[in-house]
Structure 1
Amino acid sequence: MQVSSTLDEANPTTANSSRTWSRAFQDIAQAARQRNLWGYLGWQDIKQGYRRSVIGPLWITISTGVMTLALGILFGGLFGNPLHEFLPYVAVGLICWTFISNCINEGAQVFIANEGLIKHLPAPVTTHVFRLVWRQTLFFAHNLLIYVIIFAIFPQPVDLSLLLVVPALALLVVNAGWASLLVGIISTRFRDIPPITGNIVQLLFYLTPIVWSYETLINSESAVVRERAVLAQLNPFMHFIEMVRRPMLGLETNLTNWLVVGAITVVGWAVALLMLRNYRARVSYWV
């Protein structure tokens, strides 16, 4: 970041001059070029979190795997779903949900938790968002080991649709960027937002088809149950998870999921960029 730009933002009387689209896009571009910085910091976050641990970050996979097994057996038995079908279903859903929920919950603290760096390190504010998303992507990669193990135990049909996992995961990461940026800016200004966000995310876990099957609802003989399946489509998180889960389980691709996710990506980034344009220079004051 140029010295003149930094000095302008440090002066409240000239803060309005930073409210330009060029400054917002420049912030993101500079953060992208500093991948060595946020890449290193994200990796160090993981190492520090498991310092002196024998197996280190594998504890992430173990805890998620235990949760997958417990939820799969419990809800599979309650709903009468075959374990060899339901356990992979729960595993992929929980892995995706863990990534999404962590990006949102930690996104609410992304600038608050990095107060020292923001005030003393002349780096773009989006550097901290990149660091967060990179760290959660590494966690996601670790958790994919659960899918590999379950897939080996309970083989699922695989075809060329599996290749759709790559763009699906890319869209998941791209959306994690704007979600973390948006909730991070709002939470930095209004400190009541992080606990509210945590409660909402926890509630949405039960409203999203992770431990219950959307296909069971939509194919039910009861008209009331089928109406609930239609309401479930109003949950945007369902489309993100289904977009990733269906190709990983060899299920037929649902174009609706991709269209909804595409629309959310465009709208989400438009709102996040607007917030970045207007309030980027104020983050250092709010923290």
Structure 2
Amino acid sequence: MTQSAVTASRDWQRTTADLRNGWQQRQLWGHLGWQDIKQRYRRSVLGPIWISITMAVTAIALGILYAGLFGNELGVQLPYILVGFIIWNFISGCLAEGSEVFTSNVGLITHLPAPLSVHVYRLVWRQTLFFLHNLVVYVVMLVIFPQPLGWGSLLAFPAFGLLVVNGTWVALLLGIVTTRFRDLLPITQSIVQLAFFLTPIVWIYEDLQNSANPAIAERARIAELNPFLHFVEILRRPMLGQSFELRNWVVVLAITVVGWTVTLIAVRRYRARIAYWV
């Protein structure tokens, strides 16, 4: 075996070891993630519940507005928007905070001898806790606006698992790129805001797709090119008791494989330089 092949093999071993050792330190990043939430709401009476209250108020306001604009029943529009908000908050959190996952932890990276993946796991765990807090609003919604939940709704568990897996590689890859090129940080945040309006969070995709106007229906199908649509739909549909759509899962699984492949290559190549870039 040549020297270059031996070096490449060692680089891959270090890459997988970083991810594996970071996962094994669950007590560390689990504690740090929980402390992040407690610190953010340290002097608040309601604490993290404010996250859910803010989201619920926004969803209700938009639900009433868009139900009137599109002529939909509030019992249809509001649950659609509310569940979309819950899912989007997790996705956007992984994207926005992932772009600064290393630069915001410069002190720990330079002084704490821990795998770099610890900071990514900490971020995803924190977003998962936010997601669980927001499920309180989802339960209240089910009481007010019952949904036709069945056995198919159990697909919500593997769907959220896929969101977590993808949120991990996204945060890891964005963290590496934006640490090296700091100008990409505000660009990433702007793209996240734009993606919210391009993704069917507050507008119902099926209504436009099934429109009697062929021009509107054709334009609505362009939304299929938006990868965020598929990530939202694989979880929102089971949470609302809607039917299974294979194409959404196929797209998400394909992105998962490609995304992790690119990320592992980037980690192998630039992992050792992150401590110097921060």
Shared fold (TM-score greater than 0.5)? Answer: yes
Q: What's 2:70 paired with?
A: 79
Aligned to 1:140, which of 101, 110, 131?
131
Deviations 1:175-225 (CA, angstroms, capped at 9, x unpaired)? 000000000100000001110001111011011000001100111011111
Q: What's 2:140 paired with?
A: 149
Aligned to 2:270, which of 254, 279, 286?
279
Q: What is the deviation of 1:71?
A: 1.2
TM-score (norm 1): 0.93
Deviations 1:219-274 (CA, angstroms, capped at 9, x unpaired)? 10111111112100000000010000111111111000000000000001111111
CA distance in 2, matches of 1:108, 1:175: 14
SS in 1 for 2:202: coil
TM-score (norm 2): 0.96
Q: How do 1:7-26 and structure 2 match up within 5 A?
A: 20-26=11-17
Contact 1:19 1:279 in 2 (8 A): no
Q: What is the deviation of 1:146?
A: 1.2
Aligned to 2:199, which of 197, 204, 208?
208
Q: How do 1:109-258 and structure 2 match up within 5 A?
A: 109-258=100-249
Q: What's 2:3 paired with?
A: none
CA distance in 2, matches of 1:285, 1:102: 26
Across the two proteins, how many residue pairs are aligned to each other?
272
Question: Which runs of 5 or more residues in structure 1 are unaligned?
Answer: 1-15
Contact 1:39 1:134 in 2 (8 A): yes
SS in 2 for 1:76: helix
CA distance in 1, matches of 2:205, 2:269: 40
Percent of aligned positions with the same letter in both sequences? 60
Q: What is the deviation of 1:19?
A: 6.7
Q: What's 2:28 paired with?
A: 37
CA distance in 2, matches of 1:278, 1:120: 22
Segments of 4+ in structure 1 off by > 2 A? Answer: 16-19
CA distance in 2, matches of 1:56, 1:199: 28
Question: Which runs of 5 or more residues in structure 2 are unaligned?
Answer: 1-6
After superposition, the Cα gap between the structure-2 partners of 1:79 and 1:19, relative to the gap in structure 1 and judged at 3 Å, is farther
Aligned to 1:101, which of 89, 92, 98?
92
CA distance in 2, matches of 1:184, 1:72: 34
SS in 2 for 1:96: helix
